Amino acid sequence: MELKRIIEAILFVSPRPVSFKGLFKKIEGCSIKDVEKALNELIREYNYSDRAIEVVQVSGGFQMRTRVEFKDWIRRFVREKDVELTKSVLETLATIAYKQPVTKKEVDAIRGVDSSRAIKNLLNKRLVEIAGRDDEIGKAITFRTTGKFLEVYGLNSIEDLPTLRELESI
């Protein structure tokens, strides 16, 4: 069987992004260069053709997705549970994303209100997680975004977030 087709099948059935390392480990008898070459060819074929599907690098891995321009058509057929966020929860998520790792106290200070409910909501949706504890007195819990956050917002890494300068120019 052709390696590119094997990779295509794996990406097609995977509900989550597949890391290159994970892909290479599962495919026996192929060199890392062969897997990389086949993956790059597949990406090129999907992303530079007139297909409704593309192969994207997101959340540290690769995933097949419907192109964004088809979202309205897809919504007519698929009832996917949206990650709907209220304004306060979205503000909290943005604060955590840009300041991570960050304590609840820091989030509260930036937003000017108590963020307990919003943080709990984000934890339940698995968009943020506990990152550890800070070094200050009291060892407060810190929060950071998750791989699911990257996946939901189509980011490969947190560095892909727009800068404040980019946001101001919009």
126-140 pLDDT, tens digit per residue, is 999 999 998 887 889
Domain final residue pick, 43, 77, 111: 77
In a domain, 30, yes or no: yes
pLDDT score at 121:
93
Same domain? 97 vs 144:
yes
- Long-range contact pairs involving 29-36 (C-beta distance under 8 Å, separation at least 24): 30/3, 34/3, 35/3, 35/7
State the average pLDDT for the chain.
Answer: 89
Same domain? 67 vs 117:
no
Same domain? 91 vs 165:
yes
pLDDT score at 89:
93
Determine which helix (DSSP H) or strand (DSSP E) holds 22, and give its type and residue range: helix 20-26
Q: How much is the pTM?
A: 0.64
Gap between the Cα atoms of 107 and 91, Å rounded: 9
Question: At 118, which CATH number?
Answer: 1.10.10.10
In a domain, 26, yes or no: yes
In a domain, 95, yes or no: yes
| SS3 (DSSP) at 51 | coil
| SS3 (DSSP) at 84 | coil
Gap between the Cα atoms of 90 and 35, Å rounded: 39
Same domain? 27 vs 70:
yes
Same domain? 70 vs 92:
no
Same domain? 67 vs 133:
no
Same domain? 91 vs 163:
yes
Same domain? 103 vs 164:
yes
Number of domains in the chain: 2
What are the structure tokens assigned to 1, written together? 């069987």
Check pLDDT > 80 for residue 24.
Answer: yes
Q: Which domain covers residue 38, as residue numbers? A: 3-77
